[in-house]
Amino acid sequence: METIARRHTTRHYLMCPPTHFDVTYSINPWMNPGKPTDQSIAMDQWQRIHDQLVDLGHTVDLVPPLPGLPDMVFAANGATVYGDKALVARFVYAERDAESPGYLDWFAARGLSVQQAELSNEGEGDFLAAGPWILAGNGFRTDRRSHVETEEYFGRPVIGLTLVNDKFYHLDTALSALDEHNIMYFPEAFTRGSQAILRQLFPDAIIATHEDAEAFGLNAVSDGKHVLMPEGAANLTAQLRKAGFEPIGMDVSELLRAGGGVKCCILELHDEAPAG
């Protein structure tokens, strides 16, 4: 990837405070209900992410956290949004089902055209904008058939990618879109066929090591220049700097107890629908 002067664009995000954060069940390999969590630490880590986005000039809205839903802090899973249309998640695990009404109500109250997905679909956890495409994960949380549903709802081409490592159960744990043309990803999280697709579409992508991926370094948010990402992904950090991006490490150690990082906490509201 050529080193160039990167330019950021202001973004619109949605977050949910971790008011009810806890690990009381296990629906991914990172979760262990037997280990204690500290809600105050989780809140501090979340607040730093929120404040960093605001300091960079981005707009951050908040969806109210609902009691009894400890994973609602991971707002990225709540929906996929382009322009005035929102497709709200249909969670694969019953523990998160009750999050969807909160998102349906929030988007409807703001005048968006909103509906809940018919098939299992966990929002931006598995649907990421990259140039003219929506890159879509499947294999653990999102039904492959939902890719067609999403493509038809938004009228945008969806590129399906299959995940094979349960530690990287959402696309946003294994891949991050840096700008319209560049991504970073961990090849071993995908099938060989999906790796081939990514090499063809993004020949200059930044490649993560296993250590980067284990540190959740790919669970990142980029505004085209600044990349907010979990601390500890040393190789990715060096590669991003070499490519002209400005990585900003964030402590997500407590949030990671529930299998979430920076991107998991942030749903991007694409106020303008991608050009056709």
User: Which of the residues are catalytic?
Assistant: 170, 264
- At 48, list the tokens: 């730093």
Question: Which amino acid, residue 233?
Answer: A
CB atoms within 10 A of CB 192: 10
Bridge partners for 203 per DSSP: none
Three-state secondary structure string covering 194-249: HHHHHHHHCCCCEECCHHHHHCCCCCCEECCCEEEEECCCHHHHHHHHHCCCEEEE
CB atoms inside a 10 Å sphere around CB 95: 16
CA angle 20–106–263, rounded 5-degree value: 60
The H-or-E segment that residue 115 falls in is strand 113-116
Torsion angles phi and psi, residue 33, rounded to 5:
-60, -15
Instruction: Give the C-alpha distances (Å, rounded to integers) separating 236 from 115, 166, 213, 227, 242.
Output: 37, 21, 9, 11, 10
DSSP string, 30-57: T--TTS---HHHHHHHHHHHHHHHHHTT
Q: Is 201 exposed, middle or buried (0-12, 13-18, 19+ CB in 10 A)?
A: middle
Integer Cα distance of 9 and 179 in angstroms: 10
Report the distance separating Cα 114 and Cα 116, nearest Å: 7
